[in-house]
Structure formats: structure tokens, C-alpha cells
Chains A and B, each alone.
Chain A
């Protein structure tokens, strides 16, 4: 019978059906970071359990790390404590750790793929909702909470409910100035922030097939913002080419055998889907969020809704406008920003930085704007520096930082202040998300963040490129 990738991976990793009716699924790779793991390790200690598969577990530090001054001990006592706790836990339980002084350190969803740990056909779990990112490789990747981190540490398994699969086919050529970020923001806007609950999203169609791995990761990363815990793209030659030669990818003959198996894991052409959606790439435009969830976006040429629009939820619109301090009907373009942030597991990879640097080259950040670039990993930082991207950003007035989550969630000193408006390449515009209880986030592509940093206001990247 024809199957989707999800069904194939699910069937292959099923250990058994539990008495609760859930499936016990073997987890091929467990990624661990400092924020959601300490309580899980404590639980293991309390019960005298070991980590079941240290060979299938890998840890790094990202959420809380300072991105400016990294000498130890940190000035931030709590950050020092949390990182020390992870170091101790990894030592005690025998887990590999890409710590702060390790060349492999970075945002967990950036380094998994970079190191070749993330591979097609595997199950993957991490105590972080953006674990869906790894689906770009055709892995089935679950974001989990701390109790489930404990489950995976102790047993290398999860107890899970089956999922339905919605195929989202994006077809056609993306217009100039429209990026993967715009594609996923549009999908979330159309299907709703809760539209994917109970589903895995399979992204397909020629537009997705032409995308690089970096772009596919941007798409899969934000599946969870549409309510889908899992999002994936079928593995193909682009995937295999990316993996070849990576530190943890199979090498030599094993790579060829792996390639054959990976290919066999892709959804069959005649697989059945629980739902099918088509998005026409030609119709897409650059988008910006105006509200307090990632579904609340409009084309950059559009206006902030007033709540009277067809299908609008007037209460939700009023609540968002109240928080954002925007007026219904206000034009998005030209809206003033205070901060520009290029970073996060959505858009901090080398191709994102290259594109942003291409746009800022020869320009200056607007005088009232604080702008920063936070590469997703040490290796991206180095690669960008060797291409001179850091200099381009610095010359333009951007701050160039060390790798980490930074202002995506403001757990380190990089935070918005008061009600600042931030043009951000990250994935969440929730109330208070960037570290200030009144902070306001406008999500957009990194190219648009770069343009906004220069002009000091929300800017249509297509216009910006025409003028300059």
C-alpha cells in the first residue's frame, strides 16, 4: 500500500502499542539544551535511571548564552548556573556536549543539520517546539516538554498519538523579493495558528522542491506556529548533497546505501493524504505581521486590519491592536521600528546572512535603530567572517554577535526595552516574546529586516532594491 513518509517512519519506529492505546515510538536522535533539560536529569537521578542511548543523544547550549561577552563565569549568575548544570549533567550521564567553547556550538536546530546528525527517515525529539525544523530533511521531528525529555533520556522512546497528514503543495515561481519566510507566514495566515493541530504538514510542490535546505528549514521551522507539531519535506538530491561530507553523516559506501534508503522513505506518489492544500507561488508577496501571533500578517503593501474584514475575529483584532498600539487601516509600509534583529533558528543561517548583507552593503542603519545580527552557530559565524559579511554589517552600523537564540526570546541580556518595535527574522510575535512585557515584534524575512534597519521603517524589499 502506498504510504506517506510519516507513515513509513512511524511504522518503522513503532516498538509496540501501549496499554493506553498510544504508540511507543523509538527516537533516533535526541537533542538536548540547557533550558528544558535540568528537571529531566533531576528526575533520572531521583529514580536511579541512566540515559538509555547516549550514542543517540547530543547536547548544546543556546537559549541563555550571552552573545557579546562569553568569558566564564558569566556576569549573569543564572546563565552560569544553567550552563554549569548542563555541563555537569552531560558529564555525569555520558552525553556529548557542544559547549560554549566548542566549535560546534549553536542553536540546537541549526547545529543538528549542520553536523549531519539530522538525517532523512529518522525520528528526532528535542525539548523545544521548533524541533519541526529538522523535518526539512525528511525526519519526523517532535518538539517535547520536560517530562517527555525525561522519557526520552531514560528510554529513548516517546508515547505518542497518531497524526493525520496534510499535504501543502506550493507550486510555481516565487516572485522577486518573496522568500521562504513569506511562504510559511502566508501558509499560517491562510490555515490559521491552530489549523494544524492533529496534523503533520508535508510541504511539497515544485516551489519547495527547488528550495535549498536552508529555505526548507525556514518553512518546516514554523510548522508549529501553524499548530502542526511536525512538518517535513520529502528527501531528494538537494537533501543528499547537503548531507554529504558532514561530520555525522555516513561516509563512503555507507553514504550510497544510506542514500538509497533515504530515497525509499519519501512519500509514495500515490499516497493518500487526510487533507490537501495548494498555494500558488506567483500570487505571494512579502508579508509582515502586525499582531500578536504569527498568523496575523498582511502583505507589506497592505494595511493593518480593523476587524471589520470578512472572516476577521473582531475581538482578537481589537486585542492585538490594543497591545501593538496600531490603528486599524494604518499602512504597514512606513511603520517606524526601533530595533532590527537578524537571527533565530528560522533565519540565521549563512544564506540568510548573505542575503541580508547584500542588502545592507553600502548603506547605514537609520540613526534611531539598534540593529544586531546573531549567527545561528559558531560555524556560521566563522564562515560569514571569512566571507567578510561581518565587516559589511559592522560598516553599516549593525552589531555582530556570538551564536545563540538571543533576542528571539530574550532569555539573555538581548531584550527589547519598553514598547520598542522590532523588525525580526525570528518566528514568534507573541506578547512579551522578545524580553519586554510591552515589546512589539514584526516578523518578516531577513532581507526585509535588513531593509527596515536601513530605512528605519517597515519597507517593501522590492521597492528598496529598485531605489538602491
Chain B
């Protein structure tokens, strides 16, 4: 797999307020009925955008249908984003819809891991700063938000906000090591040796 380094992410942002946004909301289960991730972007937040009555997205007031945020590539959300199901369909949908980063107060661990593995950068900011950022984006949705992964900062007009992420995640983005399989297969004799020391692998 080609190494893909992610140092900077730039684009307009989409603020979505609320804690504990779960992956069932991001991508309802019926769209998991597929053997590829193709088209997942079409169903992001489907239920709350249209409902079972089959409402249309023209009248939807969901932030994902707000014309001001069309074309956004950075999602700004609150606490415990992506909790619930382990479905990678959720970050896949966001990535395929063009998102390249999510800035949150905090993430569920599985969502965080899934996202990093597909190159959707997940970064943390403090609650106050998230709110400030969301408000500023709502005021000037056309402004470009600039994320500098190395410096762990983002910039929106004259607003500068420090971001944080685990050292390993940062390193993975900067070196392109977030595609892990190759790394795990490297020096495979060490894996074999480690497994042979386990009593249950040896059959007790």
C-alpha cells in the first residue's frame, strides 16, 4: 500500500453540535447490507435527515443538508463522537463524502482507530474551543480551516486553536504508517516466536 503522509488538512468546516453521536446515527444498519463500502457517503445520517416517512433532504434542517456547509472537508463535533457500533461504514461514509478530518472534544476508541486506519484524521480540542470553533464556522462558513498536524494547531481566520492527538496517531499520520498491515507483517518470525510461547497456542 502506498505511503500516504498527512501533514496538513485544509478546507471548509461543518459544525455538528451534540454529545454521544453514535455510529447507528452516522450510518444506519440497513446500509451495512453490502459487501463493499461503495456509496456509503449517500446515507450519512440518513434517518435524521429524511425519517421513515421518506422526507426529502431539501426541507431537512440537518447540518449535513445545510447549503452553507456544502463541500466541507472537516467535521467539528463535541464529546464521545462515534460511540456504539464498530462499523467502519461510518468513517468510510464520512471519508467518501469528502471529509478528511474530524475535530472533537473526544472520540470513541473504536471509531478513532477505524478512522485513522483509512486516513480520516481525528484530532481533539478542548470543549470551549470546540464551541468557539463551531460558532465561528457558523458565522463564516466559507472560511478555510487549516489543520497543521505537525504543529497540532488549527487556524480559522484569526482564531488559532491547539489540537491534540496521541503521539502514535500523530506519527502515523505524518509518516503515512496508518496503513498498518504491512507494518504488522514485517519480520513475521517475531510473531511466530511470540505465539509459540503462549501455552494455549502450544496446546497446553
Contacts and interface: CB of A to CB of B under 8 A. Distances in A.
A154 B175 CA distance: 22
A349 interface: no
A431 B80 contact: no
A145 B52 CA distance: 28
Contacts of A391: none
Contacts of A193: 20, 80, 83
A438 B28 CA distance: 12
A389 to B, nearest CB: 28
A182 B115 CA distance: 33
Residue with the greatest number of chain A CB neighbours at <10 A, chosen from B79, B85, B169, B188: B85
A26 interface: yes
Contacts of A119: 200
B143 interface: no
A438 B18 CA distance: 19
Interface string A397-425: 00000000000011100000010000000
A1 B190 CA distance: 26
Contacts of A436: 52
Given A47-B1, A78-B33, A293-B20, A19 B109 contact: no
B67 interface: no
B202 to A, nearest CB: 10
Contacts of A210: none
Contact of A155 (B114, B118, B181): B181
Contacts of A435: 29-30
Contacts of A224: 84, 110
B32 A250 contact: no
B137 interface: no
Interface in A288-345: 293, 313, 315-316, 319
Contacts, number: 218
Interface in A37-52: 38-39, 42-43, 47, 49, 52
Contact of A229 (B36, B109, B181): B109
B86 A127 contact: yes
Given A161-B166, A198-B109, A85 B83 contact: no
Nearest to B190: A15
A242 interface: no
Contacts of A128: 85-86
Interface in B152-204: 166-169, 171-172, 175, 177, 180-181, 183-185, 187-188, 190-191, 194-195, 197-201, 203-204
A283 to B, nearest CB: 26
B1 A432 contact: no
B108 A411 contact: no
A49 B184 CA distance: 13
Given A38-B36, A128-B86, A194 B20 contact: yes
A127 B204 CA distance: 28
Contacts of B88: 36, 39, 145-147
Nearest to B184: A155
Residue with the greatest number of chain A CB neighbours at <10 A, chosen from B34, B47, B86: B86
Interface stretch (A254-262, A272-280, A353-361, A460-468): A254-262
A293 B25 CA distance: 11
A432 B25 contact: yes
Contacts of A229: 109-110
A144 B22 contact: no
A129 B110 contact: yes
Contact of B199 (A38, A258, A319): A258
B181 A316 contact: no
Given A151-B184, A432-B47, A316 B190 contact: no
Residue with the greatest number of chain B CB neighbours at <10 A, chosen from A53, A146, A411: A146
Nearest to B35: A38
Contacts of B22: 293, 428, 430
Contact of A15 (B37, B113, B114, B191): B191
A467 B91 CA distance: 50
B110 A313 contact: no
Contacts of B136: none
Contact of B168 (A22, A28, A56): A22
B117 A147 contact: yes
A21 B25 contact: no
B30 A410 contact: yes
Nearest to A199: B109
A456 B85 CA distance: 30
A411 B32 contact: yes
A16 interface: yes
Contacts of B204: 250, 254-255, 257-258, 261
B35 A431 contact: no
A213 interface: no
B41 interface: no
A116 B198 CA distance: 17
Interface in A420-460: 428, 430-433, 435-438
Interface string A6-19: 00000011111011
Contacts of B187: 16
A157 interface: yes
A431 B190 CA distance: 45
Q: Rank and list the top 6 A-B pairs by shortest CB-CB distance, nearest first.
A: A145-B114, A194-B80, A437-B47, A147-B117, A145-B88, A38-B35
